[in-house]
Amino acid sequence: MPDVRARATTLAELHQSGELAVLPTVWDTWSARVAADAGFKGLTVGSHPVADAIGSADGEKMDFSEYLRVVKRITDAVPVPVSADVESGYGLDPAELIARLLEAGAVGANIEDVVHREGKRVRDRQEHADYIAGARRAADDAGIPFVINGRTDAVKLGTDVFPDPVAEAEARITLMEDAGARSVYPVGVTSADQLTRLVQAVTIPVNATAHPVKGHGAGDLATLKKLGVRRVSFGPLWQMWLAEVSTDRFADWLPANG
C-alpha cells in the first residue's frame, strides 16, 4: 500500500522545483515498471492507452471502477508517484473524484474541459475552473498536496470552436491556475511560439505532449526546456510507437504468401 501523502508531496515538490519533469504515460504494470526502472521520478496513467489495453475506448467509455483498478495495480507496482488521466471527471462531483483517486493511490490527475459523456460538450471557462477549484478543495480537505493538471482542448478544437484557440487556451489555463491547478495542459500545441506564449501566461508548469522518439513539434527535450516547458508526458504516443515497431518487425516473421 503506497504512502499517498508522501508520494503526493514528492510529486508536488517536483512541480515546484522549477525543473523540467518527464512523466511517461503508462497503461499497465509492465509499462509502469519499465518507465520507473528507467529512472523517471513520476508517471502518468493515460485513459487512451488504458482503454486500448483493456479493449474499451477513450472518451469516458470505460467503466470508471475498472479503470481505477488498473490505476491501483500500477500505483502498487512502482515506488514513484503516479498521476491519472480522468478525462472530464466521469460525471462525478470533484470531491468523490478525488476521494476515489486517492483510494487508488493516485496523487495527481489530468482533468479536461471536454465532457465526452455529454456529446463532447465543452465546459465554459469558469465552469471548468470551478470544477478544478472543487477538486483542489477536496484534496486540501484530505490533507494531500494533490497535483491537479488542468487540461484544455481549446487549441486542439481549433477555429471551428474558438475564434482564437491559443488566446482561449491562455485564458483557460490562467483561470485554472487561479483555481488551484498545480500544472496546466493545453493539448494540441505544436509550435514554439504557441508554447512560449502559454508558458509566459502562468507561473505553474505547462505540460507538453511529446513522442518518445520524435519529440515535440517545437523540438526535442532540450528545446522544450529552453522554451520554459516544465512537464512532459507521452499521451498514447509511446504505446502507439511500440505497436508500430512491433508491426514492422513482425513482418519478418510472417510466412511468405503462397
Predicted pLDDT at 2: 81
Average pLDDT over the chain, rounded to an integer: 97
Over residues 200-221, mean pLDDT: 97
Predicted pLDDT at 30: 98
Over residues 135-144, mean pLDDT: 98
Long-range contacts of 93-97 (CB under 8 A, 24+ apart): 93/134, 94/131, 94/132, 94/134, 94/135, 94/137, 94/138, 95/134, 95/135, 95/137, 95/138, 95/141, 97/135, 97/138
The full length of the chain comes to 258
Pinpoint the alpha helices (H) of the chain: 4-16, 29-38, 47-54, 64-77, 94-103, 125-141, 154-157, 165-179, 192-201, 221-226, 237-250
Query: With bands split at pLDDT 50, 70 and 90, how would you rate the model's confidence at 249?
Result: very high
Query: With bands split at pLDDT 50, 70 and 90, how would you rate the model's confidence at 243?
Result: very high
Cα 149 to Cα 113, 205, 245: the distances in Å are: 12, 9, 30
Q: What is the DSSP string of 72-116?
A: HHHHHH-SS-EEEE-TT-TT--HHHHHHHHHHTT--EEEE-SEEG
Candidates 3.40.710.10, 2.40.50.140, 3.20.20.60, 1.10.1060.10; CATH matching 4-238: 3.20.20.60
Query: How many Cβ atoms are within 10 Å of 70's Cβ, its own excluded?
Result: 23
Helix or strand (DSSP H, E) at 44: strand 43-45
CA torsion sign for 110, 113, 117, 119 is negative
Query: With bands split at pLDDT 50, 70 and 90, how would you rate the model's confidence at 182?
Result: very high
Query: With bands split at pLDDT 50, 70 and 90, how would you rate the model's confidence at 257?
Result: low
Percentage of the chain exceeding pLDDT 90: 98
Q: What is the model's pTM?
A: 0.96
Predicted pLDDT at 256: 76
What one-letter code names the amino acid at 152?
T
For residue 209, the number of C-alpha atoms closer than 13 Å in the C-beta half-sphere is 19
pLDDT in tens, 43-91: 999 999 999 999 999 999 999 999 999 999 999 999 999 999 999 999 9
- Answer yes or no: is pLDDT of 130 > 80: yes
Predicted pLDDT at 118: 96
Predicted pLDDT at 258: 47
Predicted pLDDT at 83: 98
- Strands in 43-45's sheet, in edge-to-edge order, are 25-26, 43-45, 82-85, 108-111, 147-152, 183-186
CB 58 within 8 A of CB 110: no
Percentage of the chain exceeding pLDDT 70: 99
Over residues 214-237, mean pLDDT: 97
